[in-house]
């Protein structure tokens, strides 16, 4: 029986996963020029299915009026206690996640000191769930020792600080201080909403396509996008793991807050994987590596001729090498087959000394819909989801369960 995800999709200029379907997010907005970006963030949260209530400081309404946020959220906007004398208590009880974006250095410092001088800071004092702050400020102000000391206090209390990004600021200076992008902020919200069965675990993931160069401009490769590997990295982080990705060529967007090491050839990937393998608890080998490479690589571009004959030699089998070396690591492989899928997957599981293999039919390539099997020595589970991200979350949850049972 197939296992399907609960998340749904909508069609509005393309399909969109409802990753935050029904989740309750309290969006706090403080007074800085980056307030206009909170409008775009609110739209994204709503598209992902979240229920959002907005809480603004009085000064922030001078940048963007409350009516804009009320229209986009579908809920009344709170600035003070005029709409509800117990707003700080009721909003704190309602929210699953409290995100303040943008968060000025003034507000984050007040929160660090336990001050409650407006509705937003008072609500923080009444709130017991995940608190996320996304600062936005002039670089010098953000780097001020007093502000950094307050940030340290907040982190020590368990507050998530979504670090600002480097770029051109409104003051026309360049440096660290830009509000984090929507993708990073959303990813942190998803992180805060998931349990952490992989807390303290190190997860190593390979993904993407390796390239074997024939000459400086031509190479042997495949059309792997890296989407599944990057989705596995995102979801492993949501489950609490420290994640490292070794990636070949990819076209998919890199996961936020994850270390990505880039490689070119299969030998490069083997070298980097072996460096990280010993410290890893879980290793997921999703890369589409080239099985063969040219025996001789030309240092110059090969001129066009009537015919070109290439002599190939076998590349090292990274997964097989890891199977020989593993000492307690939970090792996961992938198999993509056009026929005899389960038979070939089981044979690969045994031959390469794997703990689990994810077997996919070849028709999942290039498809947004994703299906396959989780194959172990004594069991087979099928799964089917509307996206690779949903499949990745299911796979990582199962890996966590199986790893922790060992």
Q: What is the mean pLDDT of the chain?
A: 91
What pLDDT is stored for residue 211 in this prediction?
95
Mean pLDDT of 131-153: 95
Query: Could you tell me which residues are beta bridge partners of residue 165?
Result: 178
What pLDDT is stored for residue 166 in this prediction?
81
What pLDDT is stored for residue 10 in this prediction?
36
Catalytic residue among 141, 171, 252, 264: 171
Q: Check pLDDT > 60 for residue 16.
A: no
CATH topology of domain 10-193: Rossmann fold (3.40.50)
Q: Check pLDDT > 90 for residue 222.
A: no
Tens of pLDDT along 153-203? 999 999 999 999 887 677 677 777 789 999 999 999 999 999 999 999 999
Which architecture, in CATH terms, is 202-294+314-405?
3-Layer(aba) Sandwich (3.40)
Q: Check pLDDT > 90 for residue 231.
A: yes
What pLDDT is stored for residue 304 in this prediction?
82
Q: Check pLDDT > 90 for residue 224.
A: no
Q: Check pLDDT > 80 for residue 36.
A: yes
Query: Could you tell me where the beta strands, DSSP code E, fall in 274-355?
Result: 282-285, 292-294, 312-314, 330-337
Mean pLDDT of 123-140: 96
More confident: 65 or 303: 65
**202-294+314-405 has the same fold as 10-193:** yes
Question: Cβ distance 239 to 195 under 8 Å?
Answer: yes
Query: Could you tell me which residues are beta bridge partners of residue 248?
Result: none
Tens of pLDDT along 316-361? 999 999 999 999 999 999 998 888 999 999 999 999 999 999 999 9
Q: Check pLDDT > 70 for residue 8.
A: no
Is residue 207 annotated as a catalytic residue, yes or no?
no
pTM of the model as a whole: 0.89
Tens of pLDDT along 166-178? 876 776 777 777 8
Report in angstroms the alpha-carbon separations of 356 from 260, 269, 378: 24, 21, 10
Question: Cβ distance 296 to 327 under 8 Å?
Answer: no
Q: Check pLDDT > 80 for residue 150.
A: yes
Q: How far apart are CA 61 and CA 32, in angstroms?
A: 10
What pLDDT is stored for residue 366 in this prediction?
66
The domains of the chain are located at 10-193, 202-294+314-405
């Amino acid at each position: 029986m197939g296992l399907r995800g609960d998340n749904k999709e909508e069609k509005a200029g393309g399909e969109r996963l409802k990753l935050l379907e029904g989740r309750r997010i309290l969006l706090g907005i403080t007074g800085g020029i980056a307030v206009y970006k909170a409008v775009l963030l609110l739209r994204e949260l709503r598209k992902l299915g979240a229920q959002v209530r907005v809480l603004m400081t009085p000064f922030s309404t001078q940048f963007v009026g409350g009516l804009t946020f009320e229209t986009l959220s579908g809920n009344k906007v709170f600035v003070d206690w005029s709409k509800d004398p117990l707003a700080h208590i009721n909003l704190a009880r309602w929210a699953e996640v409290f995100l303040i974006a943008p968060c000025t250095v003034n507000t984050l410092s007040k929160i660090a000191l336990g001050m409650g001088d407006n509705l937003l800071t008072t609500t923080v004092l009444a709130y017991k769930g995940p608190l996320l702050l996304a600062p936005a400020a002039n670089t010098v102000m953000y780097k001020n020792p007093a502000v950094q000391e307050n940030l340290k206090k907040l982190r020590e209390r368990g507050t998530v600080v979504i670090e600002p990004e480097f770029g051109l600021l409104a003051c026309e200076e360049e440096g660290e201080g830009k509000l984090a992008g929507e993708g990073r902020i959303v990813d942190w919200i998803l992180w805060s909403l998931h349990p952490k069965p992989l807390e303290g675990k190190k997860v190593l993931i390979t993904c993407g396509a390796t390239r074997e160069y024939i000459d400086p401009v031509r190479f042997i490769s495949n059309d792997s996008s890296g989407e599944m590997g990057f989705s596995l990295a995102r979801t492993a982080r949501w489950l609490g793991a420290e994640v490292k990705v070794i990636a070949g060529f990819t076209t998919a967007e890199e996961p936020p807050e994850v270390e990505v090491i880039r490689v070119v050839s299969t030998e490069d990937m083997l070298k980097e994987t072996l460096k990280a393998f010993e410290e890893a608890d879980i290793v997921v080998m999703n890369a589409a590596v080239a099985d063969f490479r040219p025996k001789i690589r030309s240092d110059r571009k090969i001129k066009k001729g009537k015919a070109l004959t290439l002599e190939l030699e076998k590349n090292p089998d990274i997964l097989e090498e890891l199977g020989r070396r593993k000492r307690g690591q939970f090792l996961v492989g992938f198999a993509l087959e056009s026929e005899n899928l389960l038979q070939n997957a089981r044979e690969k599981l045994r031959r390469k000394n794997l703990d689990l293999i994810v077997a996919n039919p070849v028709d999942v390539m290039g498809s947004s819909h994703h299906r396959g099997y989780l194959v172990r020595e004594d069991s087979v589970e099928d799964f089917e989801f509307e996206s690779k991200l949903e499949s990745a979350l299911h796979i990582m949850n199962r890996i966590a369960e199986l790893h922790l049972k060992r």
